[in-house]
Homo-oligomer: A and B are copies of this chain.
């Protein structure tokens, strides 16, 4: 089993590039929230909501802003962005699995695939013809990669991932289990009441440092590619239809559904269970709140919402009857105002 790493406080300060005020030899074995951390655990303070927890923390040390150091009863590591320092710290404590380069004996690699010698292919992995797998790629057990794919340097595909033919992943992407990239877009032509399948001839092109959650599906394009920009982060069970284009560093939370040919700008935040339809274009810097339906293009950065908010069901039942009469209501008020 993998060993969990540990460090001296001094080592952590060096690795994170932070000023340390405290015993450099303190041994740190893990990270914990301020109110739960013990004497060998490090914590962080970035949100004023937890000020009380800071005052009474028993952590070995706390990462915090210089101006908060005076309130801290224990050793400090000073950072202008403690939450980002925590992100870097968390990566240091990830239990390292010994990844053995090479192909597991049960992996099935097409003779026409090119797999870098440093790549690690797990049990029962299948790699199609013409696929190129770069250095330091890790593909976990039972994942299937189609033909003509390109997997960039340092990508990590978790178990049971499926890539169809013709999918390109940039460098340092992470793809979680049960996700599917490159499945057919949902396209049919009607002819006398039947649906004729439109073959989906485009591919999927994904940038660098993209993370794709578990159970997420990204369809291939109809004629041209579906395109995901650099640094995009996609949560679990997101559906991205054919020919969607997503700009750099946009974040898409769990269970959102993005219909075909939608265009989303850079630096957007699409919260959970959002629907985006009607071939809309969303400009850079837009936030859409949870469970909203975007059915028209958005041309001004800002925050957008739909829905009714939660009520007890008895009142809700009355109000939804009234919702159906809203237009009529406005006419009645107009009558009243005229009088």
Q: Which A residues form the contact surface with B (CB < 8 A)? A: 1-2, 30-33, 36, 81, 83-84, 86-88, 90-91, 93-95, 97, 104, 106, 108, 112, 122-124, 126, 129-130, 140-142, 144, 146-148, 158-160, 162, 164-165, 174, 176-180, 183-184, 186, 188-191, 193-201, 211, 213-215, 217, 219, 222-224, 231, 233, 235-237, 239, 241, 249, 251, 253-255, 257, 259, 267, 271-273, 275, 277, 287, 289-296, 302-327, 329-330, 332-333, 336-337
Contact = CB atoms under 8 A, between A and B. Distances in A.
Contacts of A217: 178, 213-215, 236-237
B108 A123 contact: yes
Contact of A322 (B179, B273, B326): B326
A191 to B, nearest CB: 4
A276 B140 CA distance: 32
Given A233-B195, A306-B310, A337-B336, A213 B329 contact: no
Contacts of A141: 108, 126, 144
Contacts of A146: 159
A254 B251 contact: no
A196 B141 CA distance: 26
Nearest to A148: B1
B189 A1 contact: no
Contact of A198 (B87, B198, B200): B87
Count of this chain's copies in the oligomeric assembly: 3
Contacts of A222: 90
Nearest to A4: B201
Contacts of A31: 201, 223
Given A87-B191, A237-B239, A277-B290, 8 more contacts: A83-B189, A86-B189, A144-B160, A176-B184, A178-B179, A236-B239, A272-B277, A293-B307
Contact of A160 (B160, B224, B295, B327): B160
Given A188-B251, A191-B84, A196-B84, A306 B307 contact: yes
A303 B313 contact: yes
